[in-house]
Structure 1
Amino acid sequence: MKKILLATLLASVSSFAFATATDYGEISKLYTNNQGHIAIQLNRGFPKADELNTCSNHSGWAGLHSPDPTIKELLVAAKSSNQDITIVTNGCEGDWLKIYSLVVE
């Protein structure tokens, strides 16, 4: 019985840890700093991430503390050209939703 309970608990925790959310919209704000962090806000917010509660304490931003240079370039290009993006987030990166992947439309 203890093994079944433990297996159920581990399965529920691990499924929560890998939950992803897909949101889309235009980048309304782009943040960066001298440490290389980058974060964005979408004009529509992140309703799917909120619905799935992938990062309960996020501040309305999605970003990365140590992003791949390609992700940074795509975010800057999407912001400067006012293109919509589709963004997949997974968990937290500090106070931000953690960017997992993105598509520039």
Structure 2
Amino acid sequence: MDIKSLVPGHTKANLAKTDKSKKKSASDGISSASAESEDSVNITGKASQISQLIQQMKSAPIIDQNRVSPIKEKLDNDKYEIEYQRVANKMLDFESNYQGY
């Protein structure tokens, strides 16, 4: 079915007639069964991969202790220092990456 040529007022019956007439008038030798198979989409493999990734994300811990522990230790010992220049640069990088949104 050619979606680009749809106009308001077409009904399903009119679309079906148009689609059938296009299949009958095709002169390239493709049978209607093979033309229909070209219109199908198979997303089962991708969907299962996405489902597996979602399950992995759900089972992963929310807090990464490898990143939290060193900071927590510095805070407990009053040795944590904020790197103001680094924070400012990160903020500017973030802002410049999302200006178009």
Same fold (TM over 0.5): no
Q: Which has the higher strand share?
A: 1
TM-score, length-scaled by structure 1: 0.21
Q: Which has the higher helix share?
A: 2
Structure with more contact order per residue of length (Cα contacts < 8 Å, sep ≥ 6): 1
Look at both structures and tell me which one has the larger radius of gyration over its CA atoms: 2
TM-score, length-scaled by structure 2: 0.22
